[in-house]
Structure 1
Amino acid sequence: MKKSIAFILFDGFQLVDMAAVSVFELANALPGGPHYDIRVLSERGGAVRSSAGVNVDSAPFGEPAFDTVMVAGSMEPSSSSAGFIAFLRACSAASRRTASICTGAFLLGEAGLLTGRKVTTHWAAARELQRLYPKARVEEDRIFINDDRIWSSAGMTACVDLALALVEQDLGVDSARAIARKMVVYHRRSGGQSQFSALLELEPKSDRIQNVLGYAKRNLARELTVDELADVAHLSRRQFSRAFRLETGQSPAKAIETLRVEAAKMMLEASAHPVEIVARETGFVDPERMRRAFVRLLGHPPQAVKRAAKASLAA
């Protein structure tokens, strides 16, 4: 029996959030499909204008019972009409799952659905969400969160990770992986994975330093001396160290440590490898050295990451 998926839109919604629809569309092409009845709704029906100026056709609100209801976000958090909020509240009560994408979490909060719940949203709006809804437990550095019947995701492309997780819950991990391959994305990021990327944070400006960081990320298990990295950049050791610090604000050693911590955290979240193996594969070699780097950069040891990943999986 097909599961009904309702996407609730409003004027000014963010168009990229509709990428989640593609996940369910591709799920319908899997063996045994179609698995989902996809519906796009708005308060009045008809064309709904996105923040990009592109219109999406929709049906008007009606019966509120669905398997899953998903509410889109917008570029800036905003409140909605009384009718919209009343329908969202009724949908959540009548449906198996309620999910928000990006700043759609603010609409869940307005509907009174976040009290006592863990929730995430776009990192830039997380503090404001916590201020407005202090009884929610906002976790600002998460890709998505599943707290019982309430799901929420970070901004932009995190909607794909959320939708893949919903499909995985319904159809299994193999189905979610097959969809991810067709969408030409990595299999969904784990919910506990950071919204931030070390490479984005470093923001190298020249191709030369970008290439060095790409090389380092591909070869974290190696020692990666400054001389080796300088050779990749085709610079002398002194020229390379100076250029690297000017472009990234960090020494090469500090940047490599950051990349290693990020890679090790992802391994701990996504696999059952013991800490010793993760330390070796990410170039720390010594688990104690990895522990010190985790505490320095993240504020907690690798074992805490592993415990949190296990708890998230169990949930």
Structure 2
Amino acid sequence: MCEDRAMAVFTRPGLHKVAVLVRHGLLPIELGIPHALMGRARSATGERLYEVVTCAVAPGPIRTEGDFTVNVDHGTEALAEADTVIVPAAHDRDEPYDRGAMNPGLTEAFARIRPGTRVASICTGAFVLAAAGLLDGKRATTHWRASERFQRLFPSVRLDSDVLYIDEGSVLTSAGIASGVDLCLHMIRRDHGAAVANAVARRTVVPPHRDGGQAQFIRRPVPEPRVSSTGAARAWALRHLDRPLTLRELAERESMSVRTFTRRFRDEVGMSPQQWLTQQRIERARQLLEESDLSIDRIAAQAGFGSASTLRMHLQTALGVSPSAYRRTFRTGAAADTGNGTGMATDGSR
């Protein structure tokens, strides 16, 4: 019976076979990503390029993070036939996310994957790949909120929590949920070229390639110290970010020498006054890009960067994107933010 099922898993000879391995606690949206993108990829003549199936260690109802289950017909026999295996995230008490080790069922499942098969993860699915030993000594990424736990559990993996996805050849990892879209489009592009990937992106109404990395999605407010001797200067600086602010001015607000102020500031905040000012100006610029109709030049002035080119340099360094790209991503009503009705940047940022 098992052999009959194995023969029936993939039914279209010649297509690239993709098996999506799901577990209890599945995030349903992540299951849909490979089906919606790779399942819709077509050649120039309209022929399907991938066959995508869902499988589980034990076929049957799989609990999701929502209030419903997903009925999975296929077991691990699909892994033995697959050319690509994709592991989405799952939130369940039996996950490697908490323990750093796989349960016996997952271990046996991974043993069925053929050598040379491409294996990829979406979001915290990277914990499964790491627990299976597939990421040892390799670069990898996962959701930024899980990065500290990942590094603690898997110190042999070179984690980069700033990028959207990482391609290490036969093993690929991606960041949060939406990065699964970026990853699948990348695999399509790698397999069949940009034209096919772009056509899938247009059909799905997603960008074929996103600028930047996870850093643009992370807020990093500076925690206020419990006891502060430089807090008044920081509060004053926040009210005057549009001005050129000198270290002497800040020190004078606290009636300190520059040397004493700098030392106490670093002790209380964990960075130099100049670094703190740059961070606060970036946060002010992000807020204005998201919430205002101001031009990039006006935002640069109000955030204290002086010029659009200086703002672009700092935003690119900190977040990996230009002001226009950031605004298109995060602005409420983003398609209308350029003022020309096209959704294209008008400030020269790329």
After TM superposition, the score normalised by the length of structure 1 is 0.66
| Superposed counterparts of 1:90-129, under 5 Å | 90-91=112-113, 93-129=114-150
Kept after mapping to 1: 8 A contact 2:216/2:321: no
Partners of 2:194 and 2:124 lie apart in 1 by: 27
Q: Counterpart of 2:161 in 1: which secondary structure?
A: coil
Of residues 162, 183, 191 in structure 2, which corresponds to 1:162?
183
Q: Counterpart of 1:281 in 2: which secondary structure?
A: coil
Displacement after TM superposition at 1:130 (Å) = 1.4
Kept after mapping to 1: 8 A contact 2:288/2:299: no
Partner of 1:148: 169
**2:314 corresponds to 1:253:** no
Kept after mapping to 2: 8 A contact 1:68/1:95: no
Partner of 2:259: none
CA displacement, residues 61-115 of structure 1 (integer Å, 9 cap, x when unaligned) = 1151311000111247245421212312431x43431001111111111111111
Partner of 1:177: 198
CA displacement, residues 268-294 of structure 1 (integer Å, 9 cap, x when unaligned) = xx9xxxxxxxxx9349xxxxxxxxxxx
Partners of 2:139 and 2:130 lie apart in 1 by: 12
**2:148 corresponds to 1:70:** no
Partner of 1:60: 75
Partners of 1:73 and 1:126 lie apart in 2 by: 14
Of residues 11, 14, 23 in structure 2, which corresponds to 1:10?
23
Kept after mapping to 2: 8 A contact 1:45/1:60: yes
**2:49 corresponds to 1:35:** yes
Q: Counterpart of 2:62 in 1: which secondary structure?
A: strand
| Superposed counterparts of 1:192-271, under 5 Å | 193-197=212-216, 213-216=291-294, 219-220=295-296, 222=297, 224=299, 226=301, 252-253=303-304, 261-262=314-315, 265-266=320-321
Name structure 2 gaps, 5 residues minimum.
1-13, 222-286, 326-346
Number of residue pairs matched? Answer: 238
Kept after mapping to 2: 8 A contact 1:5/1:36: yes
Of residues 31, 34, 58 in structure 2, which corresponds to 1:20?
34
CA displacement, residues 25-72 of structure 1 (integer Å, 9 cap, x when unaligned) = 221486342111111000111221111133222211115131100011
Deviates more, 1:256-265 or 1:41-50: 256-265
CA displacement, residues 123-153 of structure 1 (integer Å, 9 cap, x when unaligned) = 0111211111111100011100001211000
Kept after mapping to 2: 8 A contact 1:143/1:158: yes
Counterpart amino acid of residue 39 in structure 2: E
Displacement after TM superposition at 1:166 (Å) = 0.5
Distance 1:30 1:130, change over 3 A: farther
Kept after mapping to 2: 8 A contact 1:89/1:113: no
Kept after mapping to 2: 8 A contact 1:16/1:157: no
Partners of 1:159 and 1:136 lie apart in 2 by: 20
Of residues 119, 132, 152 in structure 2, which corresponds to 1:131?
152
Counterpart amino acid of residue 75 in structure 2: P
Counterpart amino acid of residue 88 in structure 2: A
Partners of 1:223 and 1:108 lie apart in 2 by: 46
Partners of 1:99 and 1:173 lie apart in 2 by: 20
Partners of 2:106 and 2:217 lie apart in 1 by: 39
Partners of 1:27 and 1:201 lie apart in 2 by: 38
| Superposed counterparts of 1:283-294, under 5 Å | none
Distance 1:158 1:225, change over 3 A: closer
**2:348 corresponds to 1:281:** yes
Distance 1:253 1:54, change over 3 A: farther
Partners of 1:258 and 1:12 lie apart in 2 by: 42
Kept after mapping to 1: 8 A contact 2:289/2:299: no
Identity rate, percent? 25
Partner of 1:237: none
Runs of 4+ in 1 over 6 A off after TM superposition: 198-202
Distance 1:212 1:165, change over 3 A: closer
Kept after mapping to 1: 8 A contact 2:138/2:158: yes
Displacement after TM superposition at 1:197 (Å) = 2.4
Partners of 1:159 and 1:281 lie apart in 2 by: 30
Of the two, which has the highest radius of gyration?
2
Cα root mean square deviation, aligned: 3.3
Counterpart amino acid of residue 71 in structure 2: D
Counterpart amino acid of residue 303 in structure 2: P
Kept after mapping to 1: 8 A contact 2:130/2:154: yes
Kept after mapping to 1: 8 A contact 2:39/2:51: no
**2:123 corresponds to 1:45:** no
